Amino acid sequence: MNVFTRRSFLKSTAASAVVLGGAAVYWPRSGFAQPTGGMTNLLKIPALETGHAEGGVRVYDLTMQNGVTEFFEGYQTPTSGINGSYLGPTLKVRDGAAIRINVSNTLEEPSTLHWHGMHLPARMDGGPHQVVSPNETWASEFTIKQKAASLWYHPHLMGKTAEHVWRGMAGMFIVEDAESDALPLPNNYGIDDIPLVLQDRIFTRDGRMDYGLSMHSRMMGMVGNVPFANGTYAPYFEATTTKLRLRILNGSNASTYNLALDNGANFMQVATDGGFLEAPVEMNLLQLAPAERAEIIVDLVAAEKVMLLNMAIGGGSSGGMMSGENNNAPAFPFLEIRAAAKITQSADLPSHLTTMEWLNEADAVKTRVFNLEMQMGMGAMMGGGNSHSINGKVMDMARIDEVVNLGDTEIWELRNVSMMPHPFHMHDVQFQILDRDGQPPAPNEHGRKDVVMVNPDEVVRIIMRFEDYADANAPFMYHCHILEHEDAGMMGQFVVV
């Protein structure tokens, strides 16, 4: 299934190439900026933050702050980040640990930080109800009760999530446990175990990346034309081992990425959103919707160069909004991996990674149906805030949409009745995908998930169990993870009682 080569990739994208450098830095809305000068910037690796001990608690200090970032030489771009000017540190925690995250806000506006994928009490979730005002600190305290996984964190302020993430606030949140300790997977952070936050952004001529919604981006989501990995433009990574573990996060606002290696080589996916798959899944094309994660293992030989590409699938995103097309980004390189002339032999990949506890459809006491809707009329487009809904309802923080009983196993039936795909995300629990239009999910989706792409006219059934954290007064969110859709109302609230 090696349907592409580096040569054909370069040829096919040459037409949309935009020269970087010179007096003006400007990228038209319609085409991705190709790094015509090659991949010239060393990949930034977010700082690893393992916290410090206070009594029996691991404490992490995070500060949301404004700053400037030099993505392109000579251009100071105003951005926001956590403990820095763009993105944030990678938090690492262990299953069973009691933790406290102190979130300080030095922005000149309220925001929140949400622990995406984490199983925890709703009051500690950092969602729209846990607003951190300027110059205040919010302490999120909980005990990690979760399998090893690559989670992440990002703002979740009502109506402002998309803009705050766009400006740069996001980071990885790695959970380790006894199982991940025992597996012979690359785990040397920054050396052979690499967080990879993939994003795209749009820049103005003078190097700003203002968040401004057009009618088009209000409907389709904000799709950029400059790709970043860990906030690095045109990045390369120098590998020193024969196996590289990439913990990939689609950290974009709205783009779906279709990832492949330019030599057509296969790679192994070992984990999905909520942790390890039962066995590695061999693949050569990985689709990641906004907010989805995948851990993959890439095999390298000495001195080779391999490009991690985004492949153009299904036409890209720059066409007409009414065509019902997907948000697949066009073709461009994300990261060049350069293997050293002498590289260290990594351990063989284990054939078994974890044992799943599969939830049984027969144990479900309830099926809830969620219709994902977009009003495509002219009025909805012009009207702004309320063109996206679930079950006919636009998000209202004062309304509880669903009440779940503690201990129950439920099936949620996600129906996309709109013309574009929606990545559905729920807080509190990791779910399992039962089927897509009655068909079993792909092997790499057969695990713990917290985001699932629901394609137009598709019905996806997911199953989950609500084991902990009943609180009638503190809701969890479920929503589309195209952030512009979430902000425009495609979100609801459930409580566990």
Residues of this chain that interact with Cu ion (CB under 5 A) are 422, 480, 482, 485
* Cβ-contact 145, 118 below 8 angstroms: no
Cβ proximity to Cu ion, 397 vs 419, nearer residue = 419
* Cβ-contact 459, 406 below 8 angstroms: no
| Beta carbon of residue 388, minimum distance to Cu ion (angstroms, whole number) | 6
- Provide the pairing of β-strand 226-229 with 257-261: unpaired
| Beta carbon of residue 157, minimum distance to Cu ion (angstroms, whole number) | 18
| Beta carbon of residue 490, minimum distance to Cu ion (angstroms, whole number) | 5
Cβ proximity to Cu ion, 189 vs 412, nearer residue = 412
| Beta carbon of residue 339, minimum distance to Cu ion (angstroms, whole number) | 39
Cβ proximity to Cu ion, 277 vs 482, nearer residue = 482
| Beta carbon of residue 463, minimum distance to Cu ion (angstroms, whole number) | 22
Tell me phi and psi for residue 358, to 5 degrees.
-75, 130
| Beta carbon of residue 300, minimum distance to Cu ion (angstroms, whole number) | 37
What is the DSSP track for 452-469? EEE-TT-EEEEEEE--S-
User: d(Cα 193, Cα 297) in Å, to the nearest integer?
Assistant: 9
> Two tokens at 339?
């293997």
Cβ proximity to Cu ion, 221 vs 280, nearer residue = 221
Cβ proximity to Cu ion, 270 vs 488, nearer residue = 488
Cβ proximity to Cu ion, 206 vs 457, nearer residue = 457
Q: Which of 97, 333, 318 is nearest to 233 (CA)?
A: 333
> Two tokens at 65?
């702050």
Q: Tokens 């019902």 correspond to what residue?
A: 324
| Beta carbon of residue 285, minimum distance to Cu ion (angstroms, whole number) | 23
What is the DSSP track for 234-298? SEEEEEEESEEEEEEEE--SSPBEEEEETT---EEEEEETTEEEEEEEEES-EEE-TT-EEEEEE
Q: Which of 163, 282, 160, 308 is nearest to 230 (CA)?
A: 308
User: d(Cα 152, Cα 76) in Å, to the nearest integer?
Assistant: 27
Cβ proximity to Cu ion, 223 vs 297, nearer residue = 223
**Residues linked to residue 493 through DSSP beta bridges, in sequence order:** 477
| Beta carbon of residue 370, minimum distance to Cu ion (angstroms, whole number) | 12
User: d(Cα 217, Cα 321) in Å, to the nearest integer?
Assistant: 9
Q: Which of 464, 482, 238, 271 is nearest to 374 (CA)?
A: 482
| Beta carbon of residue 423, minimum distance to Cu ion (angstroms, whole number) | 7
| Straight-line distance from the first to the last Cα atom of the chain, in angstroms, rounded to the nearest whole number | 49
Cβ proximity to Cu ion, 149 vs 483, nearer residue = 483
Cβ proximity to Cu ion, 275 vs 421, nearer residue = 421
